[in-house]
């Protein structure tokens, strides 16, 4: 190993320690911290972000990367003459290792330190205020904090586009690449175009079919403590290790942490247990991916999750293809009745039919999986126009209502908590993230089709609560690779082809029109 690579690894190890601290300070801010602590916590996080940026953009880092690439090129020439499989594999791994460090460095170099600091402060302030403003339907109050977030996000997007104009046709494309790294705008637009064309008709067909079916209401009285115990049982069934993680409550469910310390949050409603379980299964999938990444590479970019399109595929696979499957529902019945005695009258078929009811709704995280991609496309349309300067923050409610009517035939009638105030993502400037949900759904369906083909007995195993073979398949095909492969290479290696919307459409038709689940 060259001296330059050692120096790079030492630097990225330090960066990983800063990331560790920031991760858990942020988790505490969203889950445990008293309200009065927000401003000083935001300042602390901004200082950590500035220090990280300073370490990553220091002049010597660029020098080390150049030297490492030169050393790698020399090694590659040697490999061509050596030509052993082991040597070629080692060179490929080294190439990915340096490529991902360079990618992180390149992304950091696009932004001035002052912008990095300002983004953290503005985002923390906006997110903290949103927690109250959402419940109060206070769009005007939110807007006061949100305008600076938008201005800073536009500045960031323009900086990133200017550094690589050949890659990014618009400022929004540059932010999209932060979350869907390696997946081109053309690929994502192609997937969305196919779904836009076919989903409305499919949704109508499913709704007409379900109209003649008797659906049992799951509403009742379900104490939060009982729901939490049930959620923890579900996590255990899905392979979550409580010696290496925990479950808490937050306004918006999320998963964060590091290997050996995974933090999951969910939210509960006393009248409905199903939404909390789906959210818990979803976040458990995120945690499984993080826990399954290569131990020896956890301090380095190459050892991290590939991108959010892959990350969301793991969470959606756990939520939609494991937990929500009719077969796994049979295994869930015993813990459900044990933890929630009020459900003893429900059988697994009644619960499954209620949970797979398709109907346009206002809240994205509570939407059925047929209409869900339309929620994402609504946000995609708005945020791309916002970042590209074709819309202002003040225009969002009107644009939201127009798109909601177009995609789902609904009206929020001024209730912004059901509309543009419902999501946390925009509060801290995470523009470009939403498309990863639909790309994740496409990838999840594609991965699900592959492991089911290789394990034709999957329904029997699910019915017994056995998902270990799925975790092993994902470990072998996704988790162990970290960032060594680009996203489409990863999908091709696992399934034989790149991301294709037809697998999601086939899954939806199979589950909702053919009763194959």
Strand (E) or helix (H) holding 24: helix 3-31
Are 440 and 311 in contact by the 8 Å Cβ rule? The answer is: yes
Helix, strand counts (H, E) of the chain: 20, 3
Summarize the annotated binding site as residue ranges. 282, 286, 312
- Mark out the alpha helices in 217-299 (DSSP H runs): 224-237, 274-292
Distance from CA of residue 330 to its chain's centroid?
28
Of the candidates 49, 41, 37, which has an alpha carbon nearest to the alpha carbon of residue 117? 49
* Number of C-beta neighbours around residue 6 at 10 A: 12
First to last CA, the chain: 50
Summarize the annotated binding site for Zn(2+) as residue ranges. 282, 286, 312
Residue 380: strand, helix, or coil? helix
Sheet containing 261-266: give its strands across: 245-249, 261-266, 255-258
Q: What is the dihedral of CA 37, 39, 44, 48, to 10 degrees?
A: 130
Give the 3-state secondary structure percentages of the chain, helix then strand then coil, rounded to 5.
Answer: 70, 5, 25
* Number of C-beta neighbours around residue 48 at 10 A: 17
| Alpha-carbon gap, residue 364 to 369, rounded angstroms | 10
| Alpha-carbon gap, residue 171 to 429, rounded angstroms | 14
Q: Which of 156, 232, 283, 383 is catalytic?
A: 283
Catalytic status, residue 9: no
Mind telling me the catalytic residues? 283
């Amino acid at each position: 190993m060259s001296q330059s690579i050692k120096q790079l690894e030492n630097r990225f190890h330090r960066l990983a320690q800063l990331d560790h601290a920031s991760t858990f300070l942020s988790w505490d801010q969203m889950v445990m911290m008293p309200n009065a602590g927000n401003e000083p916590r935001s300042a602390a996080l901004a200082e950590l972000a500035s220090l990280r940026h300073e370490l990553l953009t220091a002049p010597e880092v660029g020098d080390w990367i150049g030297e490492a690439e030169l050393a790698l090129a020399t090694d590659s020439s040697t490999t061509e003459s050596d030509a052993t499989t082991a040597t070629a594999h080692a060179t490929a791994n080294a190439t990915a290792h340096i490529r991902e460090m360079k990618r992180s460095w390149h992304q950091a170099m696009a932004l001035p330190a002052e912008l990095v600091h300002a983004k953290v402060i503005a985002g923390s302030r906006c997110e903290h205020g949103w927690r109250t403003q959402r419940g109060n339907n206070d769009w005007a109050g939110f807007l006061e904090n949100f305008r600076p977030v938008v201005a800073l996000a536009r500045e960031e997007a323009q900086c990133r586009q200017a550094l690589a104009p050949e890659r990014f046709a618009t400022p929004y494309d540059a932010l999209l690449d932060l979350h869907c790294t390696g997946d081109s705008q053309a690929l994502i637009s192609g997937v969305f175009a196919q779904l836009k064309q076919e989903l409305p008709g499919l949704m109508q067909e499913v709704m007409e079919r379900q109209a003649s079916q008797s659906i049992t209401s799951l509403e009742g009285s379900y104490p939060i403590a009982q729901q939490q115990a049930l959620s923890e049982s579900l996590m255990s069934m899905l392979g979550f290790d409580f010696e290496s993680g925990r479950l808490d409550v937050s306004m918006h469910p999320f998963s964060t942490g590091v290997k050996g310390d995974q933090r999951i949050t969910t939210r509960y409603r006393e009248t409905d247990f199903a939404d909390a379980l789906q959210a818990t299964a979803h976040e458990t999938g995120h945690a499984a991916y993080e826990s399954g990444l290569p131990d020896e590479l956890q301090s380095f970019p190459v050892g991290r999750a590939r991108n959010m399109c892959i990350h969301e595929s793991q969470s959606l696979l756990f939520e939609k293809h494991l937990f929500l499957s009719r077969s796994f529902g049979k295994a869930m019945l015993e813990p459900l009745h044990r933890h929630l005695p009020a459900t003893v009258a429900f059988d697994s078929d009644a619960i499954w039919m209620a949970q797979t009811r398709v109907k346009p709704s206002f809240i994205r995280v509570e939407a059925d999986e047929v209409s869900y991609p339309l929620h994402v496309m609504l946000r995609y349309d708005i945020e791309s126009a916002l970042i590209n300067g074709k819309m202002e923050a003040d225009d969002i409610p009107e644009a939201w209502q127009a798109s909601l009517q177009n995609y789902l035939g609904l009206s929020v009638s001024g209730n912004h908590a059901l509309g543009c105030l419902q999501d946390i993502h925009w509060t801290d400037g995470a523009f470009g993230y939403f498309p990863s949900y639909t790309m994740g759904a496409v990838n999840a369906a594609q991965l699900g089709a592959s492991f089911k083909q290789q394990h034709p007995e999957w329904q029997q195993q699910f019915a017994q609560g056995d998902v270990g073979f799925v975790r092993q398949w994902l470990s072998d095909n996704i988790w162990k690779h970290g960032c060594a492969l680009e996203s489409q290479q990863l999908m091709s290696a696992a399934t034989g082809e790149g991301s294709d919307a037809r697998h999601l459409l086939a899954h939806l038709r199979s589950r909702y029109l053919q009763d194959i689940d």
